[in-house]
Structure 1
């Protein structure tokens, strides 16, 4: 990532992301930390206010001398994609390792607004008609197909949530989590031999749109 970032504090450690909490389970450990209202953030020389998908202001957290920032807010400021890899339980910043650095047409990472869709997603996987694809990455890891698809849509979170809830239910999703409320969407689980994650929230960079991030990985 070549973009330069200036943060008005010493930033270290793992950057927290809201998506990861859904998968943490028994790995959660209670700590005593502080919201640090005295730390400002600059991005490429300009002051930056961190907000969540609903526009609510976010505050850095200080814990044992380290300062933690919300990944998605920072990634949006740098125009770098951030997703959650449900199959491997990890936050992915930027393109996944399975993407080609110089993809040929129809493979690897599609250009923004291309309208392209993943060649590895099932043919019947629904995508809203007005979807503007901002990133699609098809990869293969140890012979197993993996997909990252991100798109913007003007359809409401409720509408998209119903679309994907009906789809995964029709496929008999196992070990599933389905949450559609307060302007956010989280659907995860197993569909056959694959793990799927569908996460949606208002776009932080394009007002009036919702951003939907889909990861699909064969086990």
Structure 2
């Protein structure tokens, strides 16, 4: 089976609609590839027409047996935000955060990690991948705990938390010593709240959430380190 990659090919403006001048000083290697007129793309069973930023039809490219899809066109078909940071030569897909998403670093989510849309969607926004738990009864504690591994690379943690039905108590510790770094209450009426904690020089973080009769949603992509 041929592999399909979402990427750009040298010299093509398929990636994010950048002009030719962007490539002048870039670290590029010339290759020989082919526009693939036969390949069709379907999204959720419906055939999609890949288009560039100007609305023009674009084609996949085949190179050494692999097929490469233009990322802006695919993002448009999937309704995922896409942008390009020229300063760092980085393609940005989905949510933009100020720092480094915790989803891109090491963590141990236990049994709380889910991509089920019925759980990842909060106030009509789908966060795609979250830590989630919810009490089944009014007397049960919608509790959860998980580990983050910033590995001493960051000074701040910005953890997004939404309390479900009932207020939630959130405690953030340095793992091992269990030194308390932050303890706060997130009100159910607050919506998606952001908790800031100082984590300079810390390798591992242990987070506990308690919500009697309630629960929590913690998005991974929009929680971040700085």
TM-score, length basis structure 2: 0.37
Decide which structure has greater strand share.
2
Higher relative contact order (CA 8 A, sep 6+): 2
More helix by share: 1
TM-score (norm 1): 0.38
Between structure 1 and structure 2, the one with the greater Rg is 2
